[in-house]
Structure 1
Amino acid sequence: MKWFTISTSRHDTNKVVCGTHPLGGMPTNCRRRRRRSATALHDPNSGNDDQSLEFDIYPLSSYYFGSKDAFPSKYLTSADRVLRMKSNYAARGIRTCVEAVVLVELFKHPHLLLLQIRNSIYKLPGGRLRPGESDTDGLKRKLARKLSIIEDGDGSEWEVGECLEMWWRPDFETLVFPCLPPNVKQTKECIKVFLVKLPESRKFIVPKNMRLLAVPLCQVHENHKVWTKKIHLHGKYLGCSDK
């Protein structure tokens, strides 16, 4: 498993405001800017700065946010969800899901884009792979379906980068772990998290029964009671600091 750090390079400083921002209506004091932030991901254990992955993140105000028809509701109770997972596992074996870490800049601080469902569930954009589908193709398909106006496109507008981490579900319960427990021989689900780099501007079109939130990494790290364990640990692994 890889452990990553994220750092935002700055030539000036400003107060960091930690607060969740629903997208669609922009904050009144957030003006359109073209300045970009240079961001680096690296493995602290490698001891080699050449292994760093540097990329740009752009201001939230550079992007347009709209809505489209709501997705059909798939609400399931915990018991129903377990039964469905058992049925799918018996038919297809291990379930593989892919998720995207998408970062934007707001108030000079990296923010993580999360989907909010039914006002209580927060998820990284992504979903389950189809049989035989590659990680990259599957993630592009899911991003196009949930965040683009053209749902059945080829997903070429999404740049899927490096796999940041993998999570494992050893049984049919809700808990996932960043490493496979040694006593588990047949895991039930594997979740792969990829970095998705954004262009300088683009349109995000979100189903009406979902909300796209920009959450500062400091809040993701600190509010472990709000976010799931997996999302909370993104804020820990992607520790941010201004240079």
Structure 2
Amino acid sequence: MPQSSLRNTLLTALTALVFGFLGAAIWSYAGLADNRTRAFLLSNPDMLPQMVEAYEAQEAEKRLADLGDAVFTPFPGVMIGNPQGTKVLVEFTDYNCPYCAASLKDVNRLVAEDPDLKVVIREWPIFEGSDAASRMALAAGLQGKYRAFHDAMFRLGDVRAAAVEAGLDMARAEADAASDAVSAEIASNLELARALGFSGTPAWIAGRKPIGGAVGYDRLKAALDGGSTG
């Protein structure tokens, strides 16, 4: 098949895939009638990635709305910042994820700058060997020492060393880490991540908008400034 024909075929297929959204988007964006939509897209293929991204964001927001408040409700103690804050950032994290480690400074900066910010952490151990760290983090939350463990775990990379530095009651922490409640929380976080369409860590909900990846301080702050959950 000639390259131009293949290109047109692929563009047509993509147009058909998201046509319901794209037709409406182009109508409002360029004032085009329906019978001109396909021709416009074929002539302006650079617009397709932007529209697909907008469509995916719209679908993610719908999925978030369907979940209600479950994703914003922390496991006991597993949050950073103001427990009563009306501005809420949700982070799905894994202690073996280098991008999560790199994002820690962004989260801590946001918390330091905004006394109204509550950061709900959803432990999502998707990397090999991460389950024990996530379980101990949740156990730390039950002792009111989540942030101390969280920061130490990213810095030290060793579960027991982080638990000791955080001052955990180890006997209690080990029992809690193996509890049904902790297992249920991890399973719930997995389902929440899947429902939101997240495929890796870190992943965020900021200003009630799902965001994937280590997007940095500026983008998180902009999203938070655009909305709250209060």
Return the index of the structure with the highest Cα Rg.
2
Indicate the TM-score class for this superposition, using the shorter chain for normalisation.
under 0.3
Q: TM-score, normalised by structure 1?
A: 0.24
Structure with more contact order per residue of length (Cα contacts < 8 Å, sep ≥ 6):
1
Q: TM-score, normalised by structure 2?
A: 0.25
